[in-house]
Amino acid sequence: MASVNKAILVGHVGKDPEFRETKSGDTVANFSLATNSGYGDNKTTEWHRVVFFGKTADVIKKYVNKGDQIYVEGRISNRSYDDKEGVKRYVTEITGSSMQMLGGKSSGSGGGEESSGEDIPF
């Protein structure tokens, strides 16, 4: 039986993306993405770790900033690592396969839409 591992998110970038390079020279972009659900007193925000590699990471480096609204497609990935104190840590993240910037740029804000700031969770 076939299986599917696909995540689709539309949200706002929580802080400016962080970048590094692999040993082979490919760019890696890491950032957090906030998605909202509900409304009024029932509104909740979920934070997602997102990672992109290669040419898409290069595009993110050039154009994506804190507050920008973007569309992300990818897969859910789980990994573990040992922190500085030797404690094993577990991470769930979205490994992106495609990204699209939403809205246009306007002076001083991350998106092209007029917003009172109530929809942005930061």
Q: What are phi and psi of 81, to 5 degrees?
A: -155, 160
Mean pLDDT value across residues 82-102: 95
Instruction: Tell me the CA end-to-end span of the chain in Å, nearest whole number.
Output: 42
* Mean pLDDT estimate for the chain: 87
β-bridge pairing 88-101 and 44-53: parallel
Q: Is the pLDDT of residue 86 over 60?
A: yes
Q: Which residue bears the tokens 């692999």?
A: 22
Q: Is the pLDDT of residue 67 over 60?
A: yes
Q: Give the Cα separation of 120 and 36 in Å (integer).
A: 9
pTM: 0.78
Residue 12: is it exposed, middle or buried by C-beta count within 10 angstroms (0-12/13-18/19+)?
buried
The token duo for 46 is 């979920």
The token duo for 109 is 């804000």
Domains of the chain by range and CATH?
7-101 (2.40.50.140)
Mean pLDDT value across residues 29-48: 93
Contact yes or no for 78/118 (Cβ under 8 A)? no
Q: Give the Cα separation of 93 and 110 in Å (integer).
A: 23
Greater model confidence, 104 or 26: 26
